[in-house]
Amino acid sequence: MRDLMKFSKIPTATITRLSIYSRYLEAMAQEGVKIVASDKLSQKCGVNPAQIRKDLAYFGEFGIRGVGYFVKELLFEIRRILGLHKIWRMALVGMGNLGSALLAHQNFIRQGYEFAVVFDIDPGKVGRRLPNGQIIYHLDEMESVIAEKEIEIGVIATPAAKAQMVANRLISAGIRAILNFAPIQLQVPEGLAVEHVDFTVKLDNLAYQLTMANT
CATH number at residue 156: 3.40.50.720
Looking at the fold, whether 136 and 170 belong to one and the same domain comes out as yes
pLDDT above 70: percentage of residues in the chain: 96
The residue segments making up the domain with residue 121 are 88-201
Q: 98-110, pLDDT tens digit by residue?
A: 999 999 988 888 8
Looking at the fold, whether 113 and 31 belong to one and the same domain comes out as no
Looking at the fold, whether 94 and 136 belong to one and the same domain comes out as yes
Q: 151-197, pLDDT tens digit by residue?
A: 999 999 999 999 999 999 999 999 999 999 999 999 999 989 999 99
**How many folded domains does the chain comprise?**
2
Rounded Cα–Cα distance for residues 164 and 193 (Å): 15
Q: Which residues of 42-66 are buried (b: 16+ CB within 10 A; e: fewer)?
A: bebbebeeeebeebbeebeebbeee
Residue 169 falls inside a structural domain: yes
The model's pTM: 0.84
Of 67, 82, 97, the one marking the end of a domain is 82
- CATH number for 64: 1.10.10.10
Rounded Cα–Cα distance for residues 32 and 199 (Å): 35
Looking at the fold, whether 92 and 183 belong to one and the same domain comes out as yes
Of 61, 82, 103, the one marking the end of a domain is 82
Could you tell me which of 169, 174, 172 has the C-alpha nearest to residue 158? 169
Residue 207 falls inside a structural domain: no
Mean pLDDT rounded to a whole number for the chain: 91
Of 36, 53, 82, the one marking the end of a domain is 82
Looking at the fold, whether 38 and 133 belong to one and the same domain comes out as no
